Structure 1
Amino acid sequence: MDLISAGHNRSYEDFKKQISPSVKPVFDTLREYCLSLMEPQHDSILIKIKSDRKEPQKDIVIKPSQNLDEIKNLLLDAYNAIH
């Protein structure tokens, strides 16, 4: 499971070359929204997760050396909770 990459070790620029012009605006809007859920900090990244409007937002601080598997699972759980 790789929720963060554009897929198969492609750069975003490579991905944009392969996406159809009609889909690109939708993709860019979703990409912008996903990036808005993250805030760079001095030595970390803050990710905001809210899987239900009745639950409080979870703020997760990610350090450069941290394993991302747990974060990916939290994002997947939040995604599944709203769908």
Structure 2
Amino acid sequence: MRSTRATYAIERLNARSPELRYSMLRTAEELFILAQNAGDAMPIRVSEPLELDAFVKFVNAYGPQIPKRISKLDVAFEKQLQKREK
């Protein structure tokens, strides 16, 4: 199924923003639209119709982002790289 990547992108967006719920609309031309659920009212369209790759990229960048986890080893490695550059 082509829309599996898009579905997982929506699930990740819903996990990042628990106060709002998002869904995906699919057009007859095989384009995808991000929509915000508005309860009993019609969904609010957040994006224009996009191709699959563009849609997944848009959804991944939309909404709150989870900060990258950085370990102590990563920090130490960055310090070593900065010392070498000087």
TM-score (norm 1): 0.31
TM-score (norm 2): 0.30
* Bigger relative CO (Cα 8 Å, ≥ 6 apart): 2
